[in-house]
C-alpha cells in the first residue's frame, strides 16, 4: 500500500528532524510535521496554509522538499530530482545511510541560500527550470485543466481515436480531490505496482463555484461510475461521452432517436450509424484509413448473409451517412445498407432485469426508457414503479441502505410495498430527498459505446470537466490480425499511428 510509502517519508524525516535539533517524534504527527518542516527550512508560517490546500500543496511541497535537501547540503541535480519526485524512497535511504548527516541551516532564507548554495551553470539552470516547470504544470493541471486522449471509437465520428483534448476543470466548478494524499503530478493509479495515493484518507465531495451549467448535448469528461469500486472516485477511469440528459430530465430512446421530456433531442455533429457492408475482398487498414473508419466487426448475421452471397465478405462498420455513400462507390464494396436491428447485444440494459424487483423491461440499445434523472435537493415519492431505477442513486451513490418490503397488493392489483431504512430495521420512508444531481451519457458511436444505457446515470460527484478543444490529433487505425479480425489484446482494441490529423489541431468540439 502507498501508506507504506508515506511511512517511508516519515522514517526519513524522523532522522532529519533529529539532525536539525527537533524532536524526532514530531515527524510522525500529521499536519504538525509540516509546520516543523517549515521551521527547519526557514519558510514563513503561512506555507502551512498552502500545504493544507489540495492541488496547491503540490507547488508548496516542491519548495519544501528542495529546501530540506539544500539545508543538508544535497545540491546535485540527481539528489534533488530523486528527493523531490521519489521522496518516499529517497528520504529514508539518504537519512539513515549518511553517517555524516549534518544540518547546515535554513535554505528557505534568501540570504542563507546566497551564502551557502553553489551557483549553477547554464545547463543546470535549464535542468532546474524544467524540473520546476513539470511541477508547475502538474499543479496547473490539477487546479485548472486536464489533458485527455481519446482511447476508443465510442465518440466517432466527432472525436477520433488519437485525439488529444484540453479539458477545463474550472468551467463547471473545480472538484476538490477526494484523495488529497497522492504522489504529486502523477495521475496514474499505480507506480511500480504500488498505489500512487493513500485511499484510507478521503475528503467529502466538494466543488468550487463555476460559471457554466452543463446542457443537453454537451461533451463531458467524467469518472466512470460503472466499475467495481476498487478505486476512489477521482482515481477511476476517465470517460468522455455526450451528455444527453441533465438533472430534472426524463430521457428515452425510441428507434434510435433520443427524446428529452418527450421532445426529440437535436443531433449534434456527425451521428454515427451502423452499416452492413458486403465486400469482394477482406477489409484492410488501407481501406479503413481511406474512409476514416475507427472500427469494424464481422457482420453479426454472417452465416445467413454468406448463404445468400457466398462469394462476398460481410462486415459491420460505423460511420455517418455521407461517408457511407462514399464507401458504396468503392470497387471492392458490393452492398452497403443501414443495419439497425438489435441482435447480438449481450450487455444487460440498465436497470438489469436480473436484479430488478418490479421493472421487468424488454429494452434494447435502440429502445429504452423513460428514465427520470433526479435533481439535487429534489424530493421524490418512492413507488414500486420508480424504485428499480432510483435505487442505484439512493443506495450506491448516496450511501443509503434502503430495502423494499412487500405488504400484499393494492386494490388495483399492483404490489403494495414499504421502503425501510437501515437495511429493513429503520423507519419507513415514503419519499427521498436527493443529495446530488444525475446525468445521462451516451457515445456518438451508438453501436460501439459503453455508456449510460448499460450502467446507468452519472452522479454529479463523478463529473470532471468540459472539453474545450482538441489541441492535437494522431491518425490511428485499428490493427487486423491473421484471421482478418480487429486486433484486441487484454480486452483493448489495438491501434497503430499512421500520421497526424492536421485538422484536429486547436479545433473546437461540437
pLDDT single digits (tens) 436-467: 999 999 999 988 899 999 999 999 999 999 99
Q: What is the mean pLDDT of residues 351-369?
A: 90
What are the residue ranges of helices labelled H in 311-415?
Answer: 321-328, 384-391
Dihedrals phi, psi of 452, to nearest 5 degrees: -60, -20
Q: What is the pLDDT of residue 351?
A: 94
Q: What is the pLDDT of residue 447?
A: 86
Closest CA to 509 of 458, 461, 473, 459: 473
Spatial neighbors of 30 by CB under 8 A, at least 6 apart, are: none
CB neighbours of residue 94 within 10 Å? 20
Cell 478543444, residue? Answer: 469
Q: What is the mean pLDDT of residues 52-64?
A: 75
Torsion of CA 403, 409, 411, 414, to 10 degrees: 70
> How far is Cα 437 from Cα 15, in angstroms, rounded to an integer?
49
How confident is residue 115, by pLDDT bands cut at 50, 70 and 90? Answer: confident
In the DSSP assignment, the letter for residue 396 is I
Closest CA to 463 of 299, 238, 284, 308: 238
Q: What is the mean pLDDT of residues 151-180?
A: 87
What is the pTM assigned to this prediction? 0.75
> How far is Cα 197 from Cα 188, in angstroms, rounded to an integer?
9
pLDDT of 333 strictly over 90: yes
Angle, alpha carbons 311-317-320 (nearest 5°): 130
Question: Which residue pairs from 131-138 have beta carbons closer than 8 angstroms and sit at least 24 positions apart in sequence?
Answer: 131/77, 131/80, 131/81, 131/84, 132/62, 134/185, 135/58, 135/59, 135/62, 135/84, 135/184, 135/185, 136/59, 137/185, 138/58, 138/184, 138/185, 138/186
Comparing 2 with 137, the larger pLDDT belongs to 137
Q: What is the pLDDT of residue 1?
A: 37
How confident is residue 287, by pLDDT bands cut at 50, 70 and 90? Answer: very high
C-alpha cell at 256: 434510435
pLDDT of 410 strictly over 50: yes
Q: What is the pLDDT of residue 492?
A: 82
Look at residue 405 and give its three-state secondary structure. strand
Cβ(332)–Cβ(287) under 8 Å?
A: yes
First vs last Cα of the chain: how many Å apart?
42
Q: What is the mean pLDDT of residues 373-383?
A: 96
Cβ(150)–Cβ(161) under 8 Å?
A: yes
C-alpha cell at 34: 509540516
Q: What is the mean pLDDT of residues 460-477?
A: 92
Beta strands (DSSP E) in 169-293 are 190-191, 194-195, 218-223, 238-245, 250-254, 257-260, 263-264, 273-279
Element (H, E) at 458: strand 458-459
239, β-bridge pairs: 222
Q: What is the pLDDT of residue 2?
A: 41
C-alpha cell at 195: 498505489
pLDDT of 3 strictly over 50: no
> How far is Cα 119 from Cα 113, in angstroms, rounded to an integer?
10
pLDDT of 207 strictly over 80: yes
Which of 16-30, 89-103, 239-253, 407-421 is the most confident on average?
239-253
Q: What is the pLDDT of residue 302?
A: 63
Q: What is the pLDDT of residue 180?
A: 72
Q: What is the mean pLDDT of residues 271-299?
A: 90
Q: Sign (positive/negative) of CA torsion 377, 378, 383, 385?
A: negative
pLDDT single digits (tens) 119-139: 766 676 666 666 666 655 665
Residues of the chain above pLDDT 70, percent: 88
Q: Characterize the bridge pairing of strands 333-338 and 273-279.
A: antiparallel
Amino acid at each position: 500500500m502507498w501508506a507504506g510509502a508515506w511511512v517511508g517519508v516519515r522514517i526519513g524525516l524522523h532522522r532529519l528532524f533529529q539532525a536539525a535539533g527537533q524532536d524526532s517524534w514530531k515527524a510522525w504527527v500529521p499536519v504538525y510535521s509540516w509546520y516543523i518542516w517549515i521551521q527547519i527550512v526557514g519558510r514563513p508560517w503561512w506555507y502551512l496554509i498552502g500545504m493544507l490546500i489540495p492541488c496547491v500543496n503540490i507547488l508548496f511541497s516542491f519548495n519544501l522538499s528542495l529546501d530540506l535537501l539544500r539545508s543538508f547540503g544535497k545540491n546535485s541535480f540527481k539528489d534533488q530530482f530523486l528527493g523531490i519526485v521519489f521522496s518516499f524512497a529517497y528520504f529514508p535511504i539518504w537519512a539513515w545511510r549518511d553517517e555524516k548527516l549534518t544540518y547546515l541551516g535554513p535554505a528557505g532564507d534568501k540570504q542563507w541560500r546566497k551564502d551557502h548554495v553553489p551557483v549553477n551553470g547554464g545547463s543546470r539552470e535549464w535542468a532546474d527550470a524544467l524540473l520546476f516547470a513539470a511541477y508547475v504544470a502538474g499543479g496547473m493541471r490539477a487546479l485548472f485543466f486536464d489533458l485527455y486522449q481519446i482511447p476508443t471509437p465510442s465518440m466517432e465520428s466527432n472525436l477520433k481515436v488519437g485525439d488529444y483534448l484540453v479539458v477545463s476543470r474550472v468551467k463547471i466548478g473545480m472538484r476538490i480531490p477526494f484523495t488529497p494524499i497522492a504522489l504529486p503530478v502523477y495521475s496514474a493509479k499505480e507506480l511500480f505496482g504500488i498505489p500512487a495515493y493513500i485511499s484510507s484518507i478521503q475528503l467529502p465531495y466538494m466543488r468550487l463555484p463555476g460559471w457554466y451549467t452543463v446542457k443537453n448535448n454537451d461533451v463531458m469528461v467524467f469518472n466512470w461510475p460503472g466499475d467495481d469500486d476498487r478505486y476512489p472516485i477521482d482515481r477511476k477511469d476517465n470517460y468522455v461521452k455526450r451528455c444527453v440528459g441533465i438533472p430534472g430530465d426524463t430521457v428515452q430512446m425510441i428507434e434510435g432517436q433520443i427524446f428529452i421530456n418527450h421532445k426529440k433531442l437535436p443531433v449534434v455533429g456527425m451521428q454515427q450509424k451502423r452499416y452492413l457492408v458486403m465486400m469482394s475482398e477482406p477489409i484492410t487498414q488501407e481501406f479503413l484509413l481511406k474512409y476514416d473508419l475507427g472500427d469494424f466487426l464481422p457482420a453479426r448475421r454472417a452465416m445467413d448473409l454468406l448463404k445468400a452471397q457466398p462469394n462476398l465478405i460481410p462486415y459491420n462498420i460505423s460511420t455517418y451517412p455521407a461517408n457511407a455513400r462514399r464507401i458504396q462507390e468503392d470497387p471492392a464494396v458490393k452492398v452497403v445498407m443501414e443495419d439497425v436491428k438489435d441482435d447480438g447485444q449481450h450487455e444487460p440494459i440498465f436497470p438489469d432485469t436480473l436484479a430488478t424487483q418490479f421493472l421487468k423491461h424488454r429494452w434494447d440499445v435502440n429502445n429504452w426508457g423513460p428514465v427520470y434523472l433526479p435533481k439535487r435537493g429534489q424530493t421524490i415519492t418512492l413507488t414500486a414503479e420508480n424504485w428499480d431505477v432510483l435505487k442505484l442513486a439512493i443506495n450506491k451513490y448516496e450511501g443509503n441502505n434502503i430495502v423494499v418490503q412487500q405488504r400484499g397488493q393494492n386494490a388495483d392489483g399492483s404490489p403494495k410495498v414499504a421502503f425501510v431504512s437501515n437495511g429493513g430495521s429503520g423507519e419507513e420512508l415514503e419519499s427521498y430527498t436527493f443529495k446530488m444531481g444525475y446525468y445521462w451519457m451516451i457515445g456518438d458511436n451508438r453501436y460501439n459505446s459503453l455508456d449510460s444505457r448499460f450502467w446507468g446515470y452519472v452522479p454529479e460527484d463523478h463529473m470532471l470537466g468540459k472539453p474545450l478543444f482538441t489541441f492535437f490529433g494522431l491518425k490511428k487505425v485499428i490493427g487486423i490480425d491473421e484471421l482478418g479480425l480487429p486486433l484486441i489484446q487484454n480486452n483493448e482494441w489495438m491501434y497503430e499511428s499512421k500520421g497526424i490529423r492536421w485538422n484536429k489541431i486547436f479545433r473546437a468540439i461540437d
